[in-house]
Structure 1
């Protein structure tokens, strides 16, 4: 056991009496008199986590007043204390244990209860935070496993879960915390709305889950809608359900509009993908854009319709990820913001991409994303171009170029041999018709004697077991983090006279094309570039790219060496 913390495991009878109080006066004094402690109650069906300064007093309060304790749900409790458990670290340790244990029991038969409304607290940084992780949490988790308090032996495996990545108890950066505090501390009597503006990887979804949880606990009487794309509804519901946040509704914009139920807060992820009336496409959603006479109203859009049933709006937005002509145009979006008293808050620091130090260079996630945007001719921002060529001498490089689609799948297989339980997928531009949608025996992609299908669904695709052997489009992956990715840059992006131009003949997403009388080649090219920006910005730990067009690969090689 680590000498930087101590534990006591106490057994309970049906009345909650501790049957094995420690005989050591030091242990009793640590809990009774001066001890900051974390405690975890465990029973056949429930787990309860909390913190206190006076454990025995708090224990008696639980059994006098809390229903789950009175009915004898808990059979034992483990108490954590010691020199690393104090006022500086207490919130941090508790929040991490809440997240880990929630993930551990997610698929089990137990439920979890949390003391102290910890989702509303933020634990500031402190000098020995790394020691708490390595010298307390890791060995303490091993002890919990050996004593049967948790099911998963390896804490690193727990951290690979989607629930960990988007946990509403996630430690926030100063920038992310500033955004949340600004919204929570704003005058509740005002009608101020908020736009959270950030590029890919700046943690918009993590901020959303944290904000929703804090609002839910601060205002349990208020109704909160978390509005997401259909590919994220299942994950979103599992996150908030796992943490017992009851006054949060996870839904899509379309369902929210059709339900016509008023809420106090509507938090909208991927707000750049909200739709407008557009006669081509949107066949499922057309009815919401009709006026009272049953005629389509070209001025209607999902943002306006959501706002009618939400007292306050918080939008999470990146204009670089608008990918269809049915998305609300930028000028219409900005006009809505001006007319509805929105305050803009920025997220600038990239967090998704984790690039380990190269043999000769140290790269950052911002280097990678800025480089992607430069290659796609979206804009020019400073970056270290060596990041995109280091794979030629470093097989472990974050970025690399593959020679085939098969090589992309082989790359993911290789990385999974090194790291189990990672979330890895192959993604592509929409240059093959989705034939397998109607004929399950048909394959959409073929290369030699190997073949693959498109993503079998958009909603919840990332959590489906079969998705690892499918190829995902942007509609299945937007807003999702992967560990490793293979990306097919397909023939819908061409090089013409030194410029990247979209090829409408190669693009097979019917709803992604303009109407014939509304076709704008420059805007269409922007959509295709934005799609690849999304696909190329999903991977946290590594990515390999295959260029279907040899001329585009040649352009990339020249761009590296320029």
Structure 2
């Protein structure tokens, strides 16, 4: 059985760009929310402050709705013949995720009413606005749960909270917020924290509920949520969504390679439980006979990691797949997750979690162990909800592996 492979065939098309294009067909629910966002911005176009919060589970199409509304507003702002309230406004979309910035800018290059400069990282925007002493009209924020909540000199952010600064620098803020995708203490959010910052600002909240990514019966998402909360339910029933448990990571990788050859956009992912240092060298995920390098950090590469054909020969982390779709995902649950036979629960072990930077800067967090486990569970939820057509899972911990294989046999 192989544990590495030569470069596979080219992925079929650019799935993520198509998915986030403002001209992608929308569901009725998504179209209603796009219209709501545009009307909100029109209604508050002459106000000093207003905020709109869009909530929704992973895979409900929040980024598509946001970018579609942004394109409509930019089209109106740049229409020289328009007499509507949004004409001439200066607007920008922010996202604190380097892979997502590449995706948004690649989309903008194909649409006349958008510019690559319309999309920026929060810190770059904040610093530029403070330097120029300027203010914009509307700021859209994708993945607002990734905004920093403390000073971070390493990333050139010297204020105390990125959202607080953005609220000072824009009249209208439209943000996507999902606290279940918070991955670091320096950006540790909950709903109460958000509401405190928005207190005194006219605020509306809209929600997406229809699952847009995971093409499965509801029992699949129910099982995933339970696992992230430490519970093991009976496995989802057999259905068109291809859900599998593996005893061998190398065999799982071979099957993912076959799915990639057949339909593209299929990758191996892992929890952040294997050593990984940004020092320019390759680092590897190894369990049993499986041995494959972690995703390579290539900030200047024009394509996001999930879009690169060669990434079939790498293991993706939560930081390279958050916000992206795959067709099939093979997920390795590393040593930081174990199984307690007495309580029949999955246990998270922060001391085994290799992403130590995720736990730095938690001075204001009162219950550190609980927050550490929550960050780990959030990261797990992100990587388990990337796949549209199939999810394969392999656990490294012997007890957890045994329990999952028993559930697999019981499903038959």
Q: How does 1:481-560 map to 2 (within 5 A)?
A: 481-496=325-340, 497-514=343-360, 520-556=368-404
In structure 2, the residue matched to 1:305 is 165
Equivalent residue, structure 2, for 1:192? 50
The 1:339/1:378 distance shift into structure 2, 3 A limit, reads farther
Residues 321, 530 of structure 1: 8 Å contact kept: yes
Contact preservation (8 Å) 1:431, 1:492: yes
1:320 corresponds to: 180
For each residue in 1:14-35, what CA deviation from the matched residue of structure 2 results, as whole angstroms up to 9, or x when unmatched?
xxxxxxxxxxxxxxxxxxxxxx
Q: 1:325–1:513: 8 Å Cα contact kept in structure 2?
A: yes
Q: Which residue of 1 aligns with 2:124?
A: 255
Structure-2 residue corresponding to 1:424? 266
**CA deviation vs aligned residue, 1:208-249 (integer Å, no higher than 9, x gap):** 110111111122122221112112111100101211224561
Check whether the contact 1:375–1:556 (CA below 8 A) recurs between aligned residues.
no
Q: CA RMSD in A?
A: 2.7
Q: Counterpart of 1:227?
A: 94
Q: Is the 8 A contact 1:274 1:302 kept in 2?
A: yes
- CA deviation map 1:257-300 (0-9, x unaligned): 1221532211111111111116xxx45235422xxxxxxxxxx2
Instruction: Answer yes or no: is 1:438 the counterpart of 2:279.
Output: yes
Q: Secondary structure at the match of 2:105?
A: helix
CA distance in 1, matches of 2:319, 2:247: 25
Gapped runs of 5+ residues in structure 1?
A: 1-155, 290-299, 356-363
For 1:285, which of 129, 152, 155 is the aligned residue? 155
CA distance in 2, matches of 1:516, 1:238: 35
RCO greater where, 1 or 2, for CA within 8 Å and sep 6 or more? 2
Contact 1:324-1:512 at 8 Å conserved across structures: yes
CA distance in 2, matches of 1:189, 1:397: 48
Distance in structure 1 (CA, Å) of the matches to 2:174 and 2:280: 41
Structure 1 runs of 4+ off > 6 angstroms? none
Question: For the residues of structure 2 that align with 1:505 and 1:532, how far apart are their CA atoms?
Answer: 16
Q: TM-score, normalised by structure 2?
A: 0.82
Q: Is contact 2:249–2:290 with CA below 8 Å preserved after alignment? A: no
Residue 168 of structure 1: aligned partner = 22
Separation in structure 2 between the aligned mates of residue 374 and residue 251 of structure 1, nearest angstrom: 35
Provide, for residues 85-117 of structure 1, a one-character-per-residue CA deviation record: whole Å limited to 9, x for no partner. xxxxxxxxxxxxxxxxxxxxxxxxxxxxxxxxx
- Going from structure 1 to structure 2, the CA distance change for 1:556 and 1:342 (only over 3 Å counts) comes to farther
Computing the radius of gyration from Cα coordinates, the structure with the larger value is 1
Is the CA contact (8 Å cut-off) linking 1:490 and 1:549 kept in structure 2? Answer: yes
Equivalent residue pairs, number: 372
**Structure 1 range deviating more: 177-186 or 206-215:** 177-186
Alignment of 1:270-419 (within 5 A): 270-277=143-150, 282-285=152-155, 287-289=157-159, 300-330=160-190, 331-355=192-216, 364=217, 366-377=218-229, 388=236, 390=238, 397-419=241-263
